[in-house]
Structure 1
Amino acid sequence: MTDTSLSSSPLSAGPRTSLTLLGTGAMGTALGRAWLAAGHPLTVWNRTPGRAGALAAEGAAVAGSAAEAVAANRLVVACLLDDASVGEALKDADLTGRDLVNLTTGTPGEARARAAWATKRGARFLDGGIMAVPPMIGAPGAYVLYSGDGGLFEEHREVLAVPAGTEYVGADPGLAALHDVALLSGMYGMFAGITHAFALVRGEDVDLKAFAALLVPWLNAMSGMAHGAAERLESGDLTTGVVSSLAMQVAGTGTLLRTAGEQGVSAELLTPFLELMRRRLADGHGEEDTTGLVEMLRG
C-alpha cells in the first residue's frame, strides 16, 4: 500500500484523537504545539522534565515517566535523540495494543530492528522521517515520510497530517529512513556546491545577494535532471535523452579547477565528484551523462 501524493488534513468536526508524545526538544515541541492547536488532547514526557514546560503551559498533560505516558494513550509518538534513546525510554513501558510511531532520526536497519522489537512487545509500528526543520511544522511544505504498518498509517492518518503532510512509502519499516537519508544526502551535495560557489566569488566585487538570486533559479533548473536520471536507471539505457554528455562535461572540468586555483579556493568539495566523472569516461561511457556514476558508487 503506497500513498504517492503528499496529503494533509483540515480540521474536522467531532472528537479529536488523544495521543502521547515522547520527547519535547525543538522538533517535539513544534509537533506538540500543532496537535494542541488542533484540539488533540496530548500527554507528553521528556527525560529532562523542565523541557516539557512550554507544552504544559499550552494544555498538555505531563507524565512522570515514559511508561506512564505510554499508558495514557493508544497512539504513541516518539521524537527522541536516537534509536538507543527510544529503546531506553520504552524499556519499562507496556506496549501491548499500542500504536508506536517513531519519528526519531535513524538508519533503515535501526527502523527494521525497532519494528521487530515493537511487534514482539505487542505494538503496531510505523517509522517516520521528518522532512522539515521545527519552524516549518504546521506550515505548507513540511512533510513526513512514513513506512511500516499500513493499517496503523491509515487509521491515524488524519491526526498524523496535522503538523505536516504525510507520504506513505511502503510496508518495509526501513523505507522512510532510507528515503530520509537519501534526500538529506542530495541536500548536502547541493550545500557543497553552494559553498564552493560562494567561496569563488567571496572577496570580489560581487553583490552576494544578487549572486544568490542568480544561483537559486539555476540550481532549481538543474535539479530537474533527477527525473531523467530516474528514467535512465529504470530502463537500463544510460544514453537515451542525454543532453550534456560525460565526455563534454569532463572536458570542461579543467576550467572549474583552474578558476578555483586563480581564486585561491580549495577544490576539495568538487574533486571527488570530478574524479568519478573522469573514471567513468575512461571506462568508455562518454555518451552517458553523470547518471552512470550511480552504478560506480554501488560497486
Structure 2
Amino acid sequence: MTSDNRAPVTVIGLGSMGSALAKSFVAKGHPTTVWNRTPEKADDLVAAGAVRAASVAEAVAASELVVVCVLDYHAMRELFDPLGDALSGRTVVNLTSGTPEEARETAKWAAERGFDYVDGAIMAIPPMIGSEEALIFYGGPQAVYDAHSASLATIAGAGTYLGEDAGLPSLYDVALLGLMWTTWAGFMHSLALVKSENVDAAAFLPYAQAWFEHVISPEVPGIAGQVDAGDYPDEGSALGMQAIAIEHLVDASRAQGVDAALPEFLKQRAQEAIKRGHAGSGFGALFEVLRKPE
C-alpha cells in the first residue's frame, strides 16, 4: 500500500501490543519509526518496512505523532524526561495502561514540558488491532485529537473520543474490565455450584446463556437509567425479598463446599442497602452502597 498522504508515525514500546500497533501502521502505509529498549524486537517490523531508531530522541524526531505503549506511566516518563525540548511540536498519544489519576498527572507533566498529549485506553487484544472491532478510548484536547484522528483510525476502527479529560479513557478502561471480571467470576461461581454435584458445565451452559440473554442483559439499560435518576423502583422483586434469596445462595455455597465469598459480598451490600432504607427498592439500590461504602 502506498504511503502517499499517510502521516509519519513513531511507535515507542514493542511488546505484544506495541508491536501490533506498529504492524498496523506499517501495513496501512504510514511511514513508521519504531524504538524498543531491546532493539531485536523491531526485527520483524523493520523487515516489513518500518525504520528502527537508535534512540528515543531519534524516534521522537522522526514523526510529529508519537504513540507510546510501554509498561506503565513511570516507564513512559523515564523515557521522555531526558529529552527536554526535543518533544516540542510533537503530539504524544499514550496508550499505556494505568489509573485515571496517573493519566491526569501525566497530562499536566506533558503541558509543563510544552508538548501535546492525548491519553488512550485500548479495549482489545493484539490480534484485533487494525480491525473494525478494536476499540480505543481517547481523552485530551479536542483539537489535538482531531488533528491525528485519521492516523489513529489506522489502529482501531472504533476510536472513541471521550472529551478533554485525559483521565476518562483509563476510567472507562477499568470500569469495563471490572464489569468483565465480575461477570466472569459470577459465571464461574455458578459453574462451581453445579460441578459440586458433578453436573457438566456444558449441560448448564444453555440455561446460563439464555439467562444472560433474556433476563440479565435486558435489565442493564433500566439499571443505568435508575442510577442516573437516583431512583430505584421495585419492579416486582424488592431488595428485601432478594436479600433472602442471596442468603440462600450463601448457604448453598457453603453446603456444597464452594467458596461463598462472592455471594457473601452481595449479601452484605444488600443488608447495608436495606439498613439505609431500601428494603422496598429494586436491586439497583445496591449502587448507593457501592458508590458510598459505610
Q: So what's the TM-score if we normalise by structure 2?
A: 0.91
Please give the secondary structure, in 1, of the residue aligned with 2:87: coil
Question: Matches of 2:47 and 2:247 in 1, distance apart?
Answer: 60
Q: Confirm or deny: 8 A CA contact 1:98 1:122 kept in the other structure.
A: no
Tell me by how many angstroms 1:95 deviates. Answer: 1.0
Match of 1:141 in 2: 133
Mapped to 2, the partners of 1:220 and 1:160 lie a distance apart of 34
User: What do you get for the CA RMSD once the two structures are aligned?
Assistant: 2.0
SS at match of 1:253: helix
2:161: which partner in 1?
Answer: 168
Residue aligning to 1:182? 175
Match of 2:67 among 77, 83, 86: 77
Q: CA shift at 1:192, angstroms?
A: 1.4
Deviates more, 1:63-72 or 1:200-209: 200-209
State the Cα deviation string for residues 37-68 of structure 1 (Å, max 9, x = none).
11111111111212222222221111111111
Separation in 2, partners of 1:188, 1:231: 23
Q: 2:223 aligns with which of 229, 234, 247?
A: 229
Q: Give the aligned partner of residue 253 of structure 1.
A: 246
Question: Shift of residue 223 of structure 1?
Answer: 3.4
Q: Distance in 2 between matches of 1:51 and 1:204?
A: 49
Shift of 1:217: 4.3
Cα distance in structure 1, aligned partners of 2:184 and 2:207: 16
- Quote how far apart the aligned CAs of 1:203 are: 5.2
Evaluate the alpha carbon distance shift between residue 219 and residue 118 of structure 1 in structure 2; reply closer, same or farther with a 3 A threshold: same
Q: CA deviation at 1:105?
A: 0.5
Match of 1:123 among 92, 97, 115: 115
Q: Would you say 1:287 and 2:277 are equivalent positions?
A: no
Structure 2 gaps of 5+ residues are none
- The answer as to whether partners of 2:3 and 2:29 remain within 8 angstroms in 1 is no
Aligned partner (choices 87, 92, 96) of residue 100 of structure 1:
92
Equivalent residues, number? 288
Label 1:30 to 1:209 Cα distance change in 2 as closer, same or farther (>3 A): farther
Structure 1 residue runs without a partner (length 5+):
1-10
What letter corresponds to residue 293 of structure 1 in structure 2? L
Deviations 1:136-159 (A, max 9, x none): 222342200111111121111121
Query: What is the SS of the residue equivalent to 1:47?
Result: coil
Partner of 1:5: none
**1:266 CA drift (Å):** 1.2
Distance verdict in 2 for CA 1:254–1:77, change over 3 Å: same
Q: Which residue of structure 2 lines up, in the alignment, with residue 4 of structure 1?
A: none
Larger deviation, residues 98-107 vs 204-213: 204-213
Q: Which amino acid aligns with 2:153?
A: A
8 Å Cα contact 1:245/1:286 also seen in 2: yes
CA contact (8 A) 1:95 1:118 kept: no
Asked if 2 retains the 8 angstrom alpha-carbon contact of 1:76 and 1:99, the reply is yes
Q: Is the 8 A contact 2:246 2:263 kept in 1?
A: no
Q: 1:210 to 1:220 in 2, by over 3 A?
A: same
Question: In the alignment, what sits opposite 1:20?
Answer: 10
TM (normalized to structure 1)?
A: 0.89
CA deviations on 1:50-106 (whole Å, 9 max, x unpaired) are 222222222111111111111110000001100000001112221101011000001
